[in-house]
Amino acid sequence: MSVFSAPDFDDHEQVVFCSDATSGLRAVIAIHNCRRGPALGGCRMWPYPTEQDAVRDALRLSRGMTYKSAMARLPLGGGKAVVIGDPRRDKNRGLLEALALAVDRLGGRYIIAEDSGTTVEDMQRMRHFTQHVAGVEARVTADGVHSGDPSPATAYGVFVGIRAAVRSRLGCDDVAGLKIALQGVGQVGLALARRLEAAGARLWITDVRREALSRAARELAATVVEPEAIFGLDVDLFAPCALGAVIDDRSLPRLKAAVIAGAANNQLAEARHDGELSRRGILYAPDYVINAGGIIDIHYQRSGYDHAAVTRHIEGIGESLTEIFHRAREQGRPTGEIADRMAEEFF
């Protein structure tokens, strides 16, 4: 399996393959760029069909983290860890310990945090074996003391970004009365759905995990739809909040929404889909810009937590997106392309 010739290899500084026979660990750690600082990025655990799929995800996600931190003006680079396996069945204490030791051997070039399939509790266990762990510190916010879980901050940033997007595309000052299709109601998706509903939006929700969908359906006044139906709904906005690559040649022609703005990483299956969305008049909020609230929160956990400062920084996501949308209109270029060029000015 070649890494250097992989389509998603983008001059990554380091790609590490980790294994431990006793615990069953099989993982890939990709460090994309450390020019701004150490590479910080979450650890995703997922039953990837092939090793190539895991490598591809690690390469794409780590690159996205570089651009995310640059756009958020954070002194961090981009990295990501992916673990091959079902977190409900394959995760165990030995696996987490082996992964922590693998991170530690990188000497601080990569800092690990939680992501899909891993938890704050997992990171707290790993901290016994490496200091290069983030997102584990309890902090005081406006509504009390919380764990290091960055998902509420991610959801708030996406909410801020959605308001900026609908203002730009639909001329709305808020989301009241808007129809929103939300794909994925995990920790971030559900937190976002709560905010949207409280702000008066009408929601349609789905998730491939039935237990998560049932929980959300009990809590929200939302319409539940099957996973495949979410793309073709006649709504104002589509919010991808699950795994990536959901905007592809099959789903894109079905979209009726005027705006795509959600929490998922790498929402576009290929870079060319950015241009196709633009040609169809669909405003795309580049994912690594709109979902940066979590890494902003984690950065402040590491450098001295100030809730007011964190909130101000996250609310800057709306300003960044507004500038991206403005430049895209002026230059007649897709928003993702504009975001990339802006981010590259900072690293």
pLDDT of residue 59: 97
pLDDT bucket at 44, cuts 50 / 70 / 90: very high
**Is the domain 14-136 a CATH 3.40.50.10860 member?**
yes
pLDDT at 146 exceeding the cut of 70: no
Share of residues in the chain with pLDDT > 90 (%): 91
Helix (H) or strand (E) holding 164: helix 151-170
Task: Assign domain 151-344 to its CATH architecture.
Answer: 3-Layer(aba) Sandwich (3.40)
Q: Packing angle between helix 51-71 and helix 335-344, nearest 10 degrees?
A: 70
Mean pLDDT of 159-188: 97
Q: How does DSSP classify residue 108? A: T
The pLDDT value given to residue 139:
61
Q: Residue 141's pLDDT is what?
A: 60
Torsion 254-257-260-263 (CA) sign: negative
| 136 band by pLDDT with thresholds 50, 70 and 90 | confident
Q: What does the pLDDT average to over 56-81?
A: 97
Q: Which band of pLDDT confidence, cut at 50, 70 and 90, is reported for residue 143?
A: low
CA 85, 39, 293, 145 dihedral sign is positive
Q: Three-class SS of residue 33? A: strand
Q: Are strands 259-260 and 283-284 parallel, antiparallel or unpaired?
A: parallel
**CA 107 – CA 130 distance, rounded (Å):** 9
Contact 270, 262 (CB under 8 A): no
Structure tokens at 190: 């559900």
Is the per-residue pLDDT at 149 higher than 90? no
196-219 mean pLDDT: 96
Closest CA to 197 of 247, 153, 170, 162: 162
pLDDT at 144 over 60: no
Average pLDDT (99-118) is: 96
pTM, 2 dp = 0.93
d(CA 185, CA 320): 26
| Residues classed as catalytic | 80
Name which of 238, 265, 266, 261 is nearest 251 in CA terms.
238
Region of poorest pLDDT, from 45-54, 141-150, 264-273, 277-286:
141-150
The yes-or-no answer to whether 14-136 and 151-344 have a common fold is: yes
In whole angstroms, how far apart are CA 106 and each of 30, 113, 170, 178, 255?
Answer: 11, 15, 47, 47, 43
pLDDT tens digits for 244-254? 899 999 999 99
User: Whole-angstrom Cα distance, residue 15 to residue 29?
Assistant: 6
| Residue 107 tokens, joined | 């000497």
Residue-averaged pLDDT of the chain: 95
Tracing tokens 């001059």 back to the chain, one arrives at 11
Burial (CB < 10 A; 0-12, 13-18, 19+), residue 93, is exposed
Residue type (1 letter), 109: R
- Chain length of the chain: 347
Q: What pLDDT is recorded for position 1?
A: 65
Q: List the domain boundaries for the chain.
A: 14-136, 151-344
